[in-house]
Structure 1
Amino acid sequence: MMGYSDEFKTHLASGATTLCRTWAIMRSDGAVFGFTDHDVNLTFEGITFKADSGLTAMALAQSTGLAVDNTEAIGALRDAAIKEADIEAGRFDGAEVRAWLVNWADVSQREMQFRGSIGELRRTNGAFTAELRGLTEALNRPLGRVYQKPCSAVLGDRACAFELTAAGYFAELAVEAVEERQVFRFDALTGFDDAWFARGRLIGQSGACVGLSGMVKRDYFDEQTRVIELWAPMRAPIVAGDMIRLEAGCDKRMETCRLKFNNIANYQGFPDLPGDDWTVVPPSQSGISVGGSRR
């Protein structure tokens, strides 16, 4: 019971406890959802934890050291709680999860038992199962620089430092025509070079796709119509009239960084790194290794 308050310790030692579990899920868009296995709603930390959500949790596996804590949450898909469309759109991917053991008779007596994020999320037959990963999961991610010719930064991130809000590097406009959530056609998208948005992003600004994004595969002209094709369909319905934002793309080459973005000072690649052909060149047989031409 290390870490519990004195009042909570006294309650746990009483032999007649009034305990339940609660979970809070915060998505990247700021939406917060609260759940409890108690039979009435509970409220603390500005969150209402709903009792009718159908959410339950499996045993929490915790350990000392750097091993990853993990558990699973299982629940029914309900319009009032977690919607199937939101799961399909990926809105719960990577969402923050917190779990408490709570005295429902006095919610000030509680202890957080888990904090992490949603990992793999599966849904079937009107229900979902979410894998919950502890904070030590971040230690499994590879860190450090990669020595390669192309730039290793993501356009606009901290390493790149380029401002995608600069004039000429984005466009905000309404969808004119869309095919299968993947191919967009515009008659009024002018003022940008051919392929300007290739490898960039399309971000939903309104409608069912608000906050969702897709990577641009191709940006080209079909006669007078400009076509923006994504690598994969948007994960929610998108229709004519919905507002979107298009951001310029980067192919990671030094020439693009210098000429298109004027950002060569932040280029994160190694353009002079020898290629594979250089590494397999056999040693010289002539005995002359001064670097000059042979005569």
Structure 2
Amino acid sequence: MAGLNTGFANHIAPGVTTLCHCWQVTRADGAVFAFTDHDMPLAFAGVAFRADTGLSARALAQTSGLSVDNTEALGALSDDAIREDEIEQGRFDGAEVQAWLVNWAEPAQRVLQFRGSIGELHRTGGSFRAELRGLTEPLNRPLGRVFQKPCSAVLGDGDCRFDLTTPGYAEERAVETVAEAQCFRWAAFPGYDEGWFARGRLDVLDGPAAGLWGIVKRDYHEDGQRVIELWEPIRGAVAEGTRVRLTAGCDKRMETCRLKFNNLLNYQGFPDLPGEDWMMAVPRSDGANAGGSRR
């Protein structure tokens, strides 16, 4: 157990204890949720831990190797704590979790049992089940670079280095017409070529779905309107008048990087990489074995 203090050790030594569990969940947007399985609220380190959430946890499994430490948190959904719509929207995905074993009679006597993040989160009826993953979980992810013709970077990330605040590559405006939080229409949308936002992002800036985003599937004109269609609906309510931000899309081709973004120096693909058929090619008296398709 990490952070075992003398007071806590002295408390558990006799075998008769007043212990409970406390959890703190910190989402990526900064929202903090704190719970305890004690029958009364607790507070320490400037955080108040609620006792009326019905939250409980299964036994913690920890190892000394690189396998993932894991446990599960179980709880009931409530309007003023963890809400079902926020789980559906993915707001708790990847949230940081800390779990303590606490002497509820003297909260300063506690030990940090677990620190990690939320993995898979399921909801069934009026309850939820959250898989908690330990700090070693990222060490099990495969690393390395993929050698391929398309660019492997994400537009605007540390490898791409393109500045998405450059004028002409993002547009903020209010929603005029929306169908099923997936198809957005504007009567007038000048200044951008058709398809400019395809493969880009639509971010919701205010309203109940603020902070959520989707990938643009199609960007086209229809019946005199500009239509932005997403691959999947936004998992929250998006009404007319909601502010959204559209970001230009990239199809990962070298020509797009050079002509649309003027960012060829940071292109992370290998456009001259020959295809697999080039490795199996045999000598020919005509044409070139360039790895392209043959007709």
- Once the 2 structures are TM-superposed, how far is the Cα of residue 279 of structure 1 from its aligned partner? 2.1
Give CA-to-partner distance per residue, 1:236-277, whole Å, 9 cap, x none.
Answer: 111111110100100001111111111111111001100132
Q: Secondary structure at the match of 1:257?
A: helix
* Alpha carbons of structure 1 residues 179 and 3: separation in structure 2 relative to 1, 3 Å: closer
Q: Secondary structure at the match of 1:208?
A: coil
Q: Give 1:248's aligned residue.
A: 248
- Once the 2 structures are TM-superposed, how far is the Cα of residue 24 of structure 1 from its aligned partner? 0.5
Q: Give 1:118's aligned residue.
A: 118
* Alpha carbons of structure 1 residues 249 and 16: separation in structure 2 relative to 1, 3 Å: same
- Cα pair 2:66 2:140 within 8 Å, conserved: no
Q: Give 2:12's aligned residue.
A: 12
For the pair 1:148 / 2:148, whether they are aligned, the reply is yes
Runs of 4+ in 1 over 4 A off after TM superposition: none
Q: Give 2:105's aligned residue.
A: 105
For the pair 1:268 / 2:255, whether they are aligned, the reply is no
Stretches of structure 2 that go unaligned for 5 or more consecutive residues are: 291-295
C-alpha distance in 2 between matches for 1:28 and 1:3:
25
- Once the 2 structures are TM-superposed, how far is the Cα of residue 2 of structure 1 from its aligned partner? 7.1
C-alpha distance in 1 between matches for 2:2 and 2:255:
58
- How is 1:126-141 mapped onto 2 (pairs within 5 angstroms)? 126-141=126-141
- How is 1:217-236 mapped onto 2 (pairs within 5 angstroms)? 217-236=217-236
C-alpha distance in 1 between matches for 2:51 and 2:2:
28
Q: Secondary structure at the match of 1:40?
A: coil
Structural RMSD (CA): 1.6
Give CA-to-partner distance per residue, 1:6-45, whole Å, 9 cap, x none.
Answer: 1111111133211111001111111100000011111122
C-alpha distance in 1 between matches for 2:2 and 2:190:
64
- How is 1:68-217 mapped onto 2 (pairs within 5 angstroms)? 68-217=68-217
C-alpha distance in 1 between matches for 2:226 and 2:140:
42
* Alpha carbons of structure 1 residues 188 and 45: separation in structure 2 relative to 1, 3 Å: farther
For the pair 1:59 / 2:36, whether they are aligned, the reply is no
Quick one: which amino acid aligns to residue 46 of structure 1? G
- How is 1:22-33 mapped onto 2 (pairs within 5 angstroms)? 22-33=22-33
Quick one: which amino acid aligns to residue 210 of structure 1? A
Quick one: which amino acid aligns to residue 31 of structure 2? A
- Once the 2 structures are TM-superposed, how far is the Cα of residue 3 of structure 1 from its aligned partner? 4.4
- Once the 2 structures are TM-superposed, how far is the Cα of residue 285 of structure 1 from its aligned partner? 7.9
Identity %: 64
* Alpha carbons of structure 1 residues 2 and 196: separation in structure 2 relative to 1, 3 Å: closer
Moved more, 7-16 or 179-188: 7-16
* Alpha carbons of structure 1 residues 236 and 3: separation in structure 2 relative to 1, 3 Å: closer
C-alpha distance in 2 between matches for 1:93 and 1:27:
8
- Once the 2 structures are TM-superposed, how far is the Cα of residue 86 of structure 1 from its aligned partner? 0.4
- Once the 2 structures are TM-superposed, how far is the Cα of residue 229 of structure 1 from its aligned partner? 0.3
Q: Give 2:278's aligned residue.
A: 278
C-alpha distance in 2 between matches for 1:240 and 1:23:
38
C-alpha distance in 2 between matches for 1:46 and 1:195:
50
Quick one: which amino acid aligns to residue 170 of structure 2? F
TM-score, normalised with respect to structure 1: 0.94
- Once the 2 structures are TM-superposed, how far is the Cα of residue 46 of structure 1 from its aligned partner? 2.3
Q: Give 2:39's aligned residue.
A: 39
Give CA-to-partner distance per residue, 1:30-63, whole Å, 9 cap, x none.
Answer: 1100000011111122221100011100111011
- Cα pair 2:200 2:250 within 8 Å, conserved: yes
C-alpha distance in 2 between matches for 1:2 and 1:62:
12
C-alpha distance in 2 between matches for 1:17 and 1:137:
32
- Once the 2 structures are TM-superposed, how far is the Cα of residue 163 of structure 1 from its aligned partner? 1.3
